[in-house]
A and B are shown apart, each in its own frame.
Chain A
Amino acid sequence: MGKVKVLLITGRSMRQGVGKESGKASQKYFESVAFCEIHPKDLEKLGIKPGANVKVSTKSGSIVVKAMPASTIDEEGKIFIPYGPYVSLLVDAETASSGMPTFKGLEAYIEPALEEKILNIEELVKKYYRGK
């Protein structure tokens, strides 16, 4: 148990692509972006099972998402979260004057967050963007 240091990769996935076409407020979209692919060995290190909630943190922020078994991550020490509002909380806004933030290869930490809830999209907007 404890934190594991990883490289965070973000990108497209078919589910996210299908999910976004169903509408950003849809459950399908939520399910397609609020998760994190983790290598089985890293799950083991964290002492958690697939489906558990994990907290992912970078120097820019942290967010709780669902841990999923890896389908594309083929080595430990790497995690994948699809493009979307969850990973956007973790991405650095610096672009090295290129206009492009670094979406791939962010230094991140994962830790179990079994007690914490995953925000839905509306809650996320309220908490981070347009809180009343």
Chain B
Amino acid sequence: MKEYRDILCPVCGCLCDDIEVNVENNSIVKVQNACAMGASKFLNFSKERLKNPLMRKNGELVPCSLNEAIDHISRALVKAEFPVIYGFALSSCEAIKVGIELAEEIGAVIDNQTTVCHGPGVQGLQDIGQVSCTLGEVKHRADLIIYWGSNPQDAHPRHFERYSLLPEGRFRGGKKDRKLVVVDVRKTATARMADFYIRIEQGKDFELISALRALLRFEDIEQEQVAGIPKEKVEELAEMMRSCEYGVIFFGQGLTQTIGKDRNGDNLFALVRDLNKFTKFLVMPIRGHYNVTGSNEVLTWQTGFPFGVDLSKGYPWYNPGDTTVVDIFRRGENDLTLVVGSDPLAHLPRRATMHILEHPLFTIDPSMSLTAMASNVVIPSAFYGLEAEGTAYRMDGVALPLKKIVEPPEGILPDEEILRRILEKVKEIRGK
């Protein structure tokens, strides 16, 4: 039996790096320190997985060889006039690099899951900027922690324990020294732990932020209620924010997926910026998938833009709403879709994704997804952080090494290698 320590958990953006894993006969038999989601992945990942490349013939997905699959995909990519490559939040940075090179080579749009998680936050950042920090800063200093439209107890179960409310830092001794505020439309598991729970009217985040910002400028609010909250309570929250020593807001998709979208982030960042007149205040998006941050980082350093990058004209162009997958799919503009480790059919609106089925749809994924079920060709891939190594970025931009602890099933390659083979094949076809 082999015992591994300091293993990264390849599930959520917390990217906990203290997991201990026991491996026996190439199989994980014990996991320590992981949350329920992490443990479920470590223990179950090998159960429901694809073992063979599949190709749709006469309407049915049937096994085929890897070469056949790569050849088919590559030929279609060369032919496509507006292909989309989508995914990468569950991949390594090294794989993303190859994905970008492939997109550049064939003139594709390349987008990642940011577009439907924190894309609006990024757009807000691009208007205002963002006052932020690494998670350890929060651990050492924060005395006011606000979760706004985010529910880490469900989505990032160890966030409290490792980074925010509970850890003992240099200047704070854990929960007793911190105040927890939760702003949400539902009484989530996180909200139930709050010292101050603010049930905000659905879709009124922007109004509450505007009111707080006006209060910080010592303006009076000419309304009895804001976002369903009595004015006095809003004033109380503003005072709490202004008078803390070190505050931080962790915001989630409650803000980014609600009406207002990019402007919610925009106004929230402005609020936090303004608070720095009075005290130290920071803001951080709680990112979902374990390497969605990395896919932004790599795309940004190679093309200048974090997601939704259109390379069809030989140079990078970016404008969410134009170059993002939901919009391209909805308008029916792409004539090929290559999905890498994502499940758009499960998670994007059907009114958008139904169009991609009119054209070739290819999926690279370790396990069967809805998208894989509906694809023309499916190539199974290795799990990063379990069967393959690589780099991933935590939600605060700290890069960490994903490790290989078991061998993938025979013939199963990581995304990086599959994409490289496709890229080589594409170059070969175009060279002819």
Contacts and interface: CB of A to CB of B under 8 A. Distances in A.
A11 B254 contact: yes
A21 B41 contact: yes
Contact of A85 (B115, B151, B345): B345
Contacts of A83: 346-347
Contacts of A92: 349, 351
Nearest to A128: B350
Interface string B346-360: 111111111001000
A23 interface: yes
Interface string B296-322: 000000000001100000000000111
A18 B36 contact: yes
Contacts of A93: 326, 329-330, 348-352
Contact of A21 (B45, B116, B187, B307): B45
A130 B373 contact: yes
Interface string A39-71: 000000000000000000000110000000000
Given A9-B185, A78-B185, A125 B352 contact: no
Contact of B370 (A11, A21, A85): A85
B397 interface: no
Interface stretch (B63-71, B255-263, B420-428): B255-263
A100 B347 contact: no
A60 B349 contact: yes
Contacts of B347: 83-85, 88
A24 B120 contact: no
A74 interface: yes
Contacts of B47: 22-23, 26
Nearest to B255: A104
Contacts of A125: 345, 370, 373-374
Given A18-B40, A24-B367, A83-B347, A98 B320 contact: yes
B349 A97 contact: no
B157 interface: yes
A56 B189 CA distance: 25
Contacts of B349: 60, 88, 91-93, 101
A105 B258 contact: yes
Interface of A: 7, 9-14, 17-18, 21-26, 60-61, 72-75, 78, 80, 83-85, 88-89, 91-105, 121-122, 124-125, 128-130, 132
19 contacts: A10-B257, A21-B40, A72-B188, A78-B186, A83-B346, A88-B348, A88-B349, A99-B325, A101-B349, A102-B259, A102-B261, A103-B253, A104-B185, A104-B258, A124-B370, A125-B373, A129-B345, A129-B354, A129-B373
